Each structure stands twice: as C-alpha cells, then as structure tokens.
C-alpha cells in the first residue's frame, strides 16, 4: 500500500531495518579500520616496491589537490545531514529528499572548488613545485573526485546516520582490495603515475556501485517530486549549522596537506614520496578515529536529544579511553622499528623513518580532539570546534616552516612569474 507520501512500500513493515546498536556499529567500524589498515600497509609496500620512490612521489603530488578540494568543497553539511536524519525511521521518504538536497549542494560546491583547485595546481606545478607534467594527472584526479569519490562520500554519510557499520565495512574492504589488485595488475602494462590513478578511480567507481546497493536498505532511491522539494526546504537549516563548522574544516584540510605542499615546494620528488609513505602509515591508524567517529556522532546526537546525559558521557569517555589505549601499543612497536619498517618499502624510503616515529603518535593524540569535536557538534557548539582547528593550523604551518628551514619568498616569486 502507498504511504502518506504516495510512495509504495516495497519492504514489509515487519522486515523494515532498524538502526544497529552503538556497540555493533562501533565493532564493525573498528574492524573496518583494522582490516583496512592492514590491507593499506600491504598495498603501500607492494606499490612502493613495484613503482619506486619517484612514481610514488608523483602520485602524492598528483592526488594532493584532490585532498585539498576534499576539505575546501564542504561547509560541513554532513554533520547537519546526520542530525536531520537522526529522528527519521529507516526508509522514510524524507530521507531521500534530504539526502538529494545535500548531494546536489555538495556536487555544485565541489565543481566550483575543483575549478579553483585546478587553477592553483597549475600555478604551483608550473612554478615552485616545477612538475608541469603532473598537471593533467592532477586534473583527472579532480574530475574523478567530483563525479565518483564525492558521491560515495555523501552516501557514507547517509549510512553512518543509521550506524550501518556492517555495510560500510564491506564497502570499504571492497575499495581497499580493488585498489591494491588494480594497481598491481596495471604495473604489468606500465610503470607510470597513470597506473596508480587508474587504480584509484576504478576502485572508487566499483565501490560507489556497491554503496548504492547497500544504501537501499536504509533509503529509498525513488520518491515523488514533492518529497524532493520538501527535502530542499531543509537545506538552509543544514547549511547554517555546517557553516559554523566550515572554518575549522578548512583549517583541518590545510593542516593535513601542508606537509606534501611544503616538501613539494622546497624539496625533491623523492622526499615527497618518502614523506607520503610515512604519512600514509600514520593515516592508516588515524582512519580508526574517523571510522569510530562515524558511529559515535549519531549516538551522541541521539542520546543528547533524548536527554540521556549519562549515556552521552559513557559513550564519549569509553570510546576515547579504549581507542587511545589500543593505538599507543602498535605506535610504540612500529616507532621503535621505524628504520626497518620504512626499509620494507624499498630504497630511499628510510629517509622518512624519523617522521614515521612522530606520525604514529598523531592518531592517539588526535583521538581526544576528534571525539571531543563530535561531542561539541552534538550539543550544538560548532563554532568552538572551528576556533580550535584554526589554532591548530597556525601551529602546524609555523612548526613545519621552521622545521624545514623554509623560506617562502622563492615560492611566492615562482607563483608571480607564472601569473605574469
């Protein structure tokens, strides 16, 4: 029978899905980060051994603009989306309307920022970074991000709103394995940066199809036009909340990508390649924080809205305690063997062993920051998260420039020559 929106129910009410428990979502998120981390490390070793430090460095530079656009093409609409979906039952027609509005806005903003990002990339690659041959690969990455990766990221937001950790686990496992297999297979044809870009985008495309299939358990694909229009009417409220978080998101993006850009401007491609491997190793464990935060945030929103203060505090403190404790042990082991770990990737990568020791401490230290930020968003204090992120950016840039002994004047002169 059609419901009050005129939408025919294709799932019997007795079979309708319910939100997974916080414990289940948390467990699958931890599995996703753990298994993904192991596959990611294995993939990094294989790719570094097969392609070498120069190609790895080129890949890091070609994908760096995509990372910047990822942060700059958002007004943090995802937390607002999760807050809007939180009170709705799975497969309610309103979910599709709200999601369609957020996705349309995200695509439009990402397209704009991709154009800006391509222009900045051209200036840098033809100026201080001096890698003009990497401009076209970087633009292809930006196009793939706009069409494929950004769409998948938005679908992840809808899935995390319902704590669909099980579905997200299989989707991300698919993407990680596909990238590794495709990168190794492409090596038989050529040994260029294009092979890695092909593997990245092909894995993202197949996993996007997987996401569309998975999300149908929680969200209808087709709804009447009036439901879509109603969804777009909720967009201003979602964006108003997100805009208060946006400065912090932009600052976090700049902080995360600063190392690649600074080394690309003042050092060699090989140094960028070594740094990229060390930073990737650090991000593998940082992924645990992000995966768990996907399950923690909707739980905090739900418990705060229900005035369950004790449950709110328990979810936050227990999550922080367990994750920090879990992360410190492998960080200590891998940090103590940093030279041997970086040596696994092949000649030249050991120059970043010192960086690896410090980077492995970042996820444990970042856990408190990320989880506390989720708590602040859940209690409607997003502005404070932005202030703290801007302070972090200033400290990161100052420390990076000081540690590398960088003089920004040659970089600025190089950009000026390209513009002229």
Residue 128, Cα to own-chain centre: how many angstroms? Answer: 27
Express each pLDDT in 192-212 by its tens digit. 999 999 999 999 999 999 999
Give Cβ neighbours of residue 12 (< 8 Å, ≥ 6 apart). none
What confidence score (pLDDT) does residue 411 get? 43
Please report which helix (H) or strand (E) contains residue 84, including its range: helix 77-85
Angle between helices 22-72 and 269-305 (to 10 degrees): 130
Tell me which residues of the chain have a pLDDT lower than 70.
1-17, 75, 249, 253-267, 281-288, 330-336, 400-420
Express each pLDDT in 272-323 by its tens digit. 777 777 777 666 666 667 777 788 888 888 888 888 889 898 888 888 887 7
Q: Would you say the pTM of this structure is higher than 0.85?
A: no
What confidence score (pLDDT) does residue 190 get? 87
What confidence score (pLDDT) does residue 261 get? 64
Cα(130)–Cα(372) distance, rounded to whole angstroms? 40
Retrieve residue 86's tokens. Answer: 């939180």
Q: Where are the domains of the chain?
A: 20-414
What confidence score (pLDDT) does residue 4 get? 45
Cα(293)–Cα(19) distance, rounded to whole angstroms? 16
Other Cβ atoms closer than 10 A to 335:
16
What confidence score (pLDDT) does residue 345 get? 74
């Amino acid at each position: 029978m059609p419901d009050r929106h005129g939408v025919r129910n294709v799932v019997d009410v007795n079979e309708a899905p319910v939100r997974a428990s916080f414990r289940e979502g948390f467990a699958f998120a931890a599995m996703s980060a753990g298994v993904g981390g192991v596959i990611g490390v294995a993939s990094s070793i294989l790719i570094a051994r097969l392609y070498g430090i120069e190609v790895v460095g080129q890949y890091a530079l070609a994908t760096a603009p995509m990372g910047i656009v990822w942060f700059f093409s958002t007004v943090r609409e995802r937390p607002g989306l999760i807050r809007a979906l939180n009170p709705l039952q799975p497969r309610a027609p309103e979910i599709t309307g709200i999601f369609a509005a957020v996705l349309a806005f995200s695509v439009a903003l990402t397209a704009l920022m991709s154009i800006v990002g391509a222009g900045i990339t051209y200036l840098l690659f033809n100026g201080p970074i001096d890698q003009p041959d990497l401009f076209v690969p970087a633009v292809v990455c930006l196009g793939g991000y706009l069409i494929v990766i950004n769409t998948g990221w938005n679908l992840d937001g809808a899935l995390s709103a319902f704590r669909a950790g099980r579905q997200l686990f299989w989707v991300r496992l698919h993407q990680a394995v596909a990238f590794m297999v495709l990168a190794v297979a492409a090596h038989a044809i050529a040994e260029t940066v294009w092979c890695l870009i092909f593997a990245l985008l092909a894995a993202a495309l197949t996993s996007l199809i997987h996401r569309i299939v998975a999300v149908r358990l929680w969200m209808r694909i087709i709804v009447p036009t009036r439901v879509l229009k109603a969804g777009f009417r909720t967009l201003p409220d979602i964006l108003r909340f997100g805009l208060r978080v946006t400065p912090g998101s932009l600052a976090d993006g700049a902080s995360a990508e600063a190392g690649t850009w600074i080394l690309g401007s003042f050092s060699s491609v090989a140094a960028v390649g070594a740094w990229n491997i060390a930073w990737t190793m650090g991000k593998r464990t940082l992924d645990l924080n992000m995966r768990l935060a996907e399950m923690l945030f909707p739980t905090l929103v739900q418990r705060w809205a229900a005035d369950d203060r004790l449950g709110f505090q328990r979810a936050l403190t227990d999550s922080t305690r367990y994750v920090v404790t879990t992360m410190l042990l492998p960080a200590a082991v891998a940090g103590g063997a940093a030279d041997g770990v970086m040596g696994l990737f092949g000649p030249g990568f050991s120059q970043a062993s010192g960086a690896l020791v410090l980077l492995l401490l970042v996820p444990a230290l970042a856990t408190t920051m990320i989880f506390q930020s989720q708590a602040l968003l859940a209690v409607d204090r997003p502005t404070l998260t932005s202030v703290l992120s801007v302070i972090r950016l200033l400290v990161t840039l100052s420390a990076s420039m000081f540690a590398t002994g960088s003089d920004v004047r040659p970089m600025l002169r190089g950009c000026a020559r390209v513009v002229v």
